[in-house]
Structure 1
Amino acid sequence: MTPVHDAAARGYRSVFRVREFRPVFAAHLLSVLGTVVAEISLTVLVFRTTGSPLMSALTFALGFLPYALGGTLLAGIADRRPARRVLVACDLLCAACAAAMVLPATPVAGLLALRCAMAFVAPLFQGTRAASLADILGPGEAFVLGRSLMRMVAQSAQLIGFGLGGLLLTVLAPRAAIGLTAAGFLGSAVLLRFGTRARPARAAAATRTSPLAGLRAVFAGRRLRLLTLLCWLPPVFFIAPEALLAPYADGIGAGTAALGVMMCALPVGTIAGELWAGSVLSARARSRLVARLAPVALLPLLVFAVRPPVPVVLAALLLAGLAHAYGLGLDQWYVDAVPEALRGRAMTLLSTGLMTFQGVGMALAGLAAEFAPVHTVVTGAAVVGTAVVVLLLAALRSAGRGSAERGPRNETGPATK
């Protein structure tokens, strides 16, 4: 089936009319749920085995630490190898790692090594899948909506995945639950192998470059560098309230129930914002929304300056989440700026940076909170983050005026096709 053209793509239902997208979406759902179940089950298993909170926390952290290394070293594979082959291989590797975790003879060190291996290939899988969406749906509006659906599945996993994982562990031992993870990855591999068609690699296998050369190739153009920074840097500041909600709740005397509700507010707002933008707005309106929403997205967090009560915090986090609706327009800007031959590599590096910079943001927020009150840290993150976004958008306008690489553009970014 041919990709959906922009003129015909209106709303999320049109994306599901593309036959190849349906198995890709189902595979994504299986792999996300499998990853969430693995994270909570493995953390519980290591804690029960060692009795060490440090080892339990390290198990969770190992889902993030190898990410930057894997994304940097493996990014070139996304363009040098056929996408379906890469995706199926990553799923099979993760399934094998999860199956090895199930074995009673696997020691704690082995469990941690297997966790690292799964995290190491995750950015390659995510980048290759994002690039293949542009092949399946076309690089226009349908791609933006498909990518948005993938993001919302991941956000929803934060809301319900850990809760379901906790319930699962009340009836299954941790190793048995990890067995379901292996089955999920196997199911994803089957769906991708038989539900999508084979396509050739974007770049010849002979064009092998070093990871550093790959980074230079992707970021050679000023516009693409700026767009990448606009994707990477705002999460550094958006993550601050989430990273510090526990100490903030304790400081204002809120209980654990209130903390749980506050933790859900930002992802709920994000999902609602994306649904609204994807269902109601046209591609041109979403593109224009970037310049209008991105500079103000962090401003609701300024209410932390007065140490507000729980209802005000909920409202601020929901508003900040809703403002993430600009992400759909930013996705279109980004895919328009990436040369097709580098699309897999660029998407892999983009997802790698997103995960890495969120981790950096968490660490910086925690470090700052050692020296300043939590509400001050969150307020400062909102101020600095807003300034960063405004500067990046101004630089993009300047780059747009100084470049005629892709023809006419709107006032802040690439013209919507």
Structure 2
Amino acid sequence: MTTDDTTATTTAPPPTGYARVFAVPEFRAVFTAHILSLLGVVISEIALSVLVYELTGSPLMSALAFALGFLPYVVGGTLLAGVADRFPARRVLVVFDLVCAACVLPMTAPGMGIGLLLTLRCALAVVAPVFQGTRMATLADILGDGDLFVLGRSLLRIVSQSALLAGYGVGGLLLTVVSPRHALLITVGTFCASALLLRFGTRRRPARAVGGGALVTESLRGARQVLANRRVRVLLLLFWLPPMFSVVPEALAAPYADELGAGSVGLGLLMCALPVGTIAGELWAGARLRPTARERIALPLVCVTLVPYAAYALHLNLPVSLLVLLLSGAGSAYTLGLDQWFVRAVPEEVRGRAMTLLTAGLMTIQGVGMALAGVVAEFAGVAATVAGAGLMGTACCVLLAVAARRTE
């Protein structure tokens, strides 16, 4: 056997699928920091909600503490988006992690008033879209704008979906051991640990754009620049509109479980089915499909992902309802193809602002979808509302898919 043959047979094969992404040291730091930040967010949401209820005895105030984690997204995503490109990305990520820690730390002090607690909660939500948008743009810097970026983005989404399944359970278990204020103190540690990982685990890169004016003005100008591109506008709508309809069963899970007589166990299963399907779909598409295949199926998949919801009109039992949600969740694998198109379509100098706008719009429109679902269900009933969301959402997706095809 020749020397060349020996080398060929003993050299380890290159990593494939998601393993390729974990082979990049900087991504490992970003991924671990994402888990720590997400853990901090989830625990702080639960602990603050419980703390507010303990202080006020009001379910409304407790729910408001939770809802304030979503409402200010649109403020930060539009007025502060310029931060993502105006300053070096690593600095933005580290500083915003420390800002989150600084917002949570005063919450742990005894005697903190409800008004200040909710104000600090709002501050966390304002900086969240800028942090997330900057992190998405940083992924493109670290992994390039090709397939590695798509896989890295997919992994962060999978972690976020997994938090829906496990995070709140872990947080609830933690609160059986420590007080809400001590749980909040733990989140301060997770945010600081995330900041340290990002500071020493990623390298410094220059800002994408040089700021020449007021931050708010620059942020709004950047948003206009992003939205001026027809291709980008269509892709943003493809990211935003399907989730607005897909959250309808989640928003109505409690009354639907009550109609089925499924109890708390059934409610838990209904809440878990969609994210389980989403995780399975993304893992399959990321690990098994080539980049060209993921792009090829993106538009057909987005057109059918909400179709299963129409089956709710048949007044399904619990097992079939769970199957419907699993199938619809699996269809969200279309996002891998959209990620690739979006990062190609957005100019690098406004990439951070575009990613921030994407994040803010996604969170805001899901909140709108949940609110509208509740209003419609008051008049039409749960099953009809979910079925209607499936039909109307499918029609919107088909129109957007046609528009996306025309902008290629």
Q: Could you say whether these structures have the same fold, taking a TM-score greater than 0.5 normalized by the shorter chain as the test?
A: yes
Q: Which residue of 1 aligns with 2:48?
A: 42
Q: Which residue of 1 aligns with 2:159?
A: 153
Q: Distance in 1 between matches of 2:15 and 2:83?
A: 31
What is the identity, as a one-letter code, of the residue corresponding to 2:183?
A
What is the identity, as a one-letter code, of the residue corresponding to 2:117?
L
Q: Which residue of 1 aligns with 2:289?
A: 281
Please say if 1:162 is aligned against 2:198: no
Q: Which residue of 2 aligns with 1:200?
A: 206
What is the identity, as a one-letter code, of the residue corresponding to 1:99?
L
Q: Distance in 1 between matches of 2:269 and 2:237?
A: 31
Match of 1:244 among 236, 252, 255: 252
1:10 Cα offset (Å) = 3.6
SS at match of 1:105: coil
SS at match of 1:139: coil
Instruction: Please say which of residues 103-112 and 172-181 is displaced more in the overlay.
Output: 103-112
Q: Which residue of 2 aligns with 1:406?
A: none
What is the identity, as a one-letter code, of the residue corresponding to 1:185?
F
Q: Which residue of 1 aligns with 2:184?
A: 178
Match of 2:79 among 73, 84, 96: 73
Deviations 1:142-179 (A, max 9, x none): 00000000001110000000101111001100000000
SS at match of 1:371: helix
Q: In 2, are the aligned partners of 1:80 and 1:207 still within 8 Å (CA)?
A: no
Q: In 1, are the aligned partners of 2:211 and 2:218 still within 8 Å (CA)?
A: no
Q: Distance in 1 between matches of 2:405 and 2:171?
A: 46
Q: Which residue of 2 aligns with 1:353?
A: 361
Q: Which residue of 2 aligns with 1:126?
A: 132
Deviations 1:89-125 (A, max 9, x none): 1000000111111111321111111111111100000
Match of 2:243 among 224, 235, 259: 235
Q: Which residue of 2 aligns with 1:113?
A: 119
Q: Distance in 2 between matches of 1:291 and 1:114?
A: 41
Q: Which residue of 1 aligns with 2:4?
A: none
1:245 Cα offset (Å) = 1.2
Q: Distance in 1 between matches of 2:220 and 2:182?
A: 41
Q: In 2, are the aligned partners of 1:269 and 1:317 still within 8 Å (CA)?
A: yes
Q: Which residue of 1 aligns with 2:221?
A: 213
Q: Distance in 2 between matches of 1:281 and 1:396?
A: 22
SS at match of 1:370: helix
Q: Which residue of 1 aligns with 2:8?
A: none
- Length-normalised TM-score, structure 2: 0.95
- Length-normalised TM-score, structure 1: 0.93
Q: Which residue of 1 aligns with 2:58?
A: 52
Q: Distance in 1 between matches of 2:375 and 2:358?
A: 25
What is the identity, as a one-letter code, of the residue corresponding to 1:120?
V
Q: Distance in 2 between matches of 1:304 and 1:34?
A: 36
1:15 Cα offset (Å) = 0.3
Change (3 A) 1:9 1:139: farther
Q: In 1, are the aligned partners of 2:219 and 2:353 still within 8 Å (CA)?
A: no
Please say if 1:396 is aligned against 2:384: no
Please say if 1:324 is aligned against 2:320: no
Q: Which residue of 2 aligns with 1:335?
A: 343
What is the identity, as a one-letter code, of the residue corresponding to 2:348?
E
Q: Which residue of 2 aligns with 1:380?
A: 388
Q: Which residue of 1 aligns with 2:234?
A: 226
1:207 Cα offset (Å) = 5.8
Q: Distance in 1 between matches of 2:377 and 2:111?
A: 42
Match of 1:294 among 289, 302, 307: 302
Q: Percent identity?
A: 62
Work out the number of aligned pairs and report it.
Answer: 393
1:210 Cα offset (Å) = 4.0
Q: Which residue of 1 aligns with 2:262?
A: 254
Q: In 1, are the aligned partners of 2:47 and 2:181 still within 8 Å (CA)?
A: yes
SS at match of 2:203: coil
1:212 Cα offset (Å) = 3.1
Match of 1:363 among 363, 368, 371: 371
Q: In 2, are the aligned partners of 1:9 and 1:142 still within 8 Å (CA)?
A: no
The alignment's C-alpha RMSD in Å is 1.1
Q: Distance in 1 between matches of 2:185 and 2:46?
A: 13
What is the identity, as a one-letter code, of the residue corresponding to 2:346?
V
1:9 Cα offset (Å) = 7.6
